[in-house]
Structure 1
Amino acid sequence: EAVEEHETITVPKTMVAASGEHYALGVKGDSMIDEGIFDGDTVIVRKQSSVENGETAVALINGNEVTLKKIFKEKTRIRLQPANPKLKPLYVKAVVIQGRVISVIRTIDEQETQKKIEEASMSEAKPQKSYFDIEKNTFSPTNHKIIIGDSRNMVELPDKSVHLVITSPPYWQLKDYGSSNQIGFNDSYEDYINNLSLVWKECFRVLNDGCRLCINIGDQFARSVYYGRYKVIPIRTEIIKFCETQGFDYMGAIIWQKATTMNTTGGATIMGSFPYPRNGIIKLDYEFIMIFKKLGEAPSVSRDTKEKSKMSKEEWNQYFVGHWNFNGAKQDKHLAMYPEELPRRLIKMFSFVDDTVLDPFLGSGTTTLAAKNLGRNSVGFEINKE
């Protein structure tokens, strides 16, 4: 449910569209948690009377009830789809679209709640209840392990012990995480790439044959102090080159068009010769999700596990495309933080129930949370105890 609050708030220009009328709504309930929208958050809405299929919108139903859902127009009805696997969709014949959600302001309370959930996931003694088995109407337990250590040497993990790797490595020279062994902040660019390569080498070792490595990273502006000029560094090209040399097959990339509350690329909101032509600089408001496959035959999967892991036709058509459009997570201490929707999609695409998902740069624990919610086990490495 979306509850309107009649008050004026101030938000950064980056959180609203370049044109159009906007308003803010306070959110009540957890129907959109997989879109990174939680109880108590505030959503910024661009007023418009129609949306594309699958977009998150504010809609009026029955003439007096306001709801926040993903909108799907079907042949004879409209489906209001919650972004929460525990909730069922609502079907109506007609709705009045009041606007499209373009950004989210997270609440402090929700950040604390999510932190508690992630801390609870760290317990190894008591497996966490995770996914719902529709046929048996029971939850199945999963295990989640967080290792405070350096993922350049994951000695705690045996060879071929995980089924999927999902991560977003730290950016180069953008954030000091306070650890003497951190990757990125104090490194030269060459050292940064070499240190990342040590992590990808370990990922190759611990990953099962036939399984995937998914790396989320964007291009980055180089600061003029290093190059004497502004230029864009395509970090992904170095990663592709090393991973293929290591033995991975590069399987392509998804372009994630995001809207986030902090610039993670090192550039300003408006750069170049604004408002005059020629020397404007393209805003890096997108990132890449690169997919790599380890050669060999993947572990066998039982018929029962396959059935539990099935994707809907709608999910398949929405996920296995070259472009994803959803909001980024609010950036707090971790600049490389992504919303749960990103690992959730990749986990459903490239793993089965009961598989183990690894994140070598765990950060705030979003990958662990997504794995837990989808009935997968997880292990994460994080060098910063905080």
Structure 2
Amino acid sequence: TMKLLESLMSEEKFTTKQAAEFLGVSTSTIYRMEKENLIESTKTPGGQRRFLKEQLAMYLEKSKHIKAPQNPSQYKQQTQPKNISNINEEISTSHRIIFGSCEKMEELDNNSIHLMVTSPPYFNAPFDYQGFFEDYETYLNLITAFAQESYRVLQHGRIAVVSCDDMLVKGEKYPIVADITKTFLDAGFRYRDKIIWRKPEGYIRISRRSGVLLQHPYPMYFYPDNLQESVLIFQKGKYKYPQPDERSKIDIIEFQKNKWYLTVWDMVNNLPSKNKENNYPAAFPDELPYRIIKLFSNVGEVVLDPFLGSGTTTKVARQLRRNSIGYEIDSSLMEIIKEKIEFYNNFIFTGKDTIEFYDRAEGRIVEST
């Protein structure tokens, strides 16, 4: 068995059979796990499934106390947050989703947030936001207001994380990473670090820029395809380290196995699918806020996502026993958010965990538990 695992760990991608052997389940269980969105796969040009080693290793670590069931309905009962990372199950969490712009987060007090993690909309991205912003100056005005408000609401010493990247629009490359960095520094933040999120080479939404050289194999026709995103890490002042909270202790095995210690993180992105929540523009994978929340916040603290989108940060924050607040301008996403966070699952939103949807324009709570 050890030789088999060592052999599998040397592979970057697994077939369905190899994935089943790695997790110790049947191939039919692998298919059910994929259907339940517990794991994801990519497709080869021939249409065959491939599963990333690191994603399976992460799932295995999270689920090490769960016996793989043969009945699909048992997954919904066994994969609840009480099994994730051995976190104290008795801690209740509360979550608030505000339909309104984060340019003015008037619902939040100064110094009330422990961690901010988000991914702003891509400037007029051809796939997701074509023509969304009138011009680049309008986009930067949004970023400026968002940065200033993030600084106001964040507690001293705490972290703000922004996932973004430069954008090619109609032949012009916009230096979004540099401009967001400068904007956050101007708002008062310290520049702490940068992580490169490297996506799989099979990412099917990449541009066809590199194809230009194939058509014209001469100098000056080179335009590379982008398979990365920048995860910018800022800090509001310096942090005073308190007595450690044992409930929030980071799993060193997970940290080392998935190479969180590097400045390059290999993570599976959300590919277009029939699942409407994954088709939401620029939805980042659960793994990104999962790492950030574990590395930069404690159990019971408050996580903010000013560009909530389909609700990924809310979902992961609840699983990790953190409270959360999210801002989203599109109230039509309410049902998509509910689906992602399993709002209708009575096992989750009981008297222990609560959630509230607030519409700023209407000035009222539109739904809550």
TM-score in terms of structure 1 length: 0.64
Distance 1:378 1:27, change over 3 A: farther
1:319 is paired with a residue whose SS is coil
Could you say which residue in structure 1 is the equivalent of 2:134? 187
Q: Which runs of 5+ in 2 are unaligned?
A: 1-11, 18-26, 47-51, 68-74, 273-277, 334-369
Distance 1:82 1:132, change over 3 A: closer
1:38 aligns with 2:37: yes
Conserved? CA contact 1:22–1:44, under 8 Å? no
Could you say which residue in structure 2 is the equivalent of 1:28? 29
Between 1 and 2, higher relative CO (CA 8 Å, sep ≥ 6) is seen in 2
For this pair of structures, how many residues does the alignment match?
Answer: 288
Query: What is the correspondence of 1:320-359 to structure 2 with a 5 Å cutoff?
Result: 320-331=261-272, 332-359=278-305
Conserved? CA contact 1:164–1:211, under 8 Å? yes
Could you say which residue in structure 2 is the equivalent of 1:141? 92
The amino acid of 2:29's aligned partner reads K
Distance 2:13 2:327 in 1: 44
1:222 aligns with 2:169: yes
Could you say which residue in structure 2 is the equivalent of 1:287? 229
Query: What is the correspondence of 1:121-140 to structure 2 with a 5 Å cutoff?
Result: 134=86, 138-140=89-91
Q: Using the TM superposition, give the Cα deviation of residue 330 of structure 1 relative to its aligned residue in structure 2, in angstroms.
A: 2.5
What do the CA deviations read for 1:55-104 (whole angstroms, capped 9, x no partner)?
Answer: 617xxxxxxxxxx942xxxxxxxxxx6346243499xxxxxxxxxxxxxx
Q: Using the TM superposition, give the Cα deviation of residue 129 of structure 1 relative to its aligned residue in structure 2, in angstroms.
A: 6.9
Query: What is the correspondence of 1:164-183 to structure 2 with a 5 Å cutoff?
Result: 164-174=115-125
Could you say which residue in structure 2 is the equivalent of 1:119? none
Conserved? CA contact 2:157–2:235, under 8 Å? yes
Could you say which residue in structure 1 is the equivalent of 2:145? 198
Distance 1:296 1:252, change over 3 A: closer
Could you say which residue in structure 2 is the equivalent of 1:268? 208
The amino acid of 2:111's aligned partner reads K
1:146 is paired with a residue whose SS is strand
Conserved? CA contact 1:145–1:379, under 8 Å? yes
Distance 1:206 1:131 in 2: 32
Distance 1:46 1:307 in 2: 47
1:161 aligns with 2:103: no
1:82 is paired with a residue whose SS is helix
Could you say which residue in structure 2 is the equivalent of 1:150? 101
Conserved? CA contact 1:133–1:308, under 8 Å? no
Q: Using the TM superposition, give the Cα deviation of residue 290 of structure 1 relative to its aligned residue in structure 2, in angstroms.
A: 0.3
1:312 aligns with 2:312: no
Root-mean-square deviation (CA, aligned residues, Å) is: 3.9
Conserved? CA contact 2:66–2:83, under 8 Å? no
Q: Using the TM superposition, give the Cα deviation of residue 261 of structure 1 relative to its aligned residue in structure 2, in angstroms.
A: 5.2
The amino acid of 2:229's aligned partner reads E
Could you say which residue in structure 2 is the equivalent of 1:56? 53
The amino acid of 2:246's aligned partner reads E
Distance 1:40 1:215, change over 3 A: closer
Distance 1:202 1:368 in 2: 19
Conserved? CA contact 1:29–1:38, under 8 Å? no
What do the CA deviations read for 1:99-158 (whole angstroms, capped 9, x no partner)?
Answer: xxxxxxxxxxxxxx99xxxxxxxxxxxxx976768597x432111110001100000000
2:90 is paired with a residue whose SS is strand
Instruction: State the identity %.
Output: 28
TM-score in terms of structure 2 length: 0.67
More helix by share: 2
2:62 is paired with a residue whose SS is coil
Distance 1:200 1:24, change over 3 A: same
Distance 2:234 2:284 in 1: 19
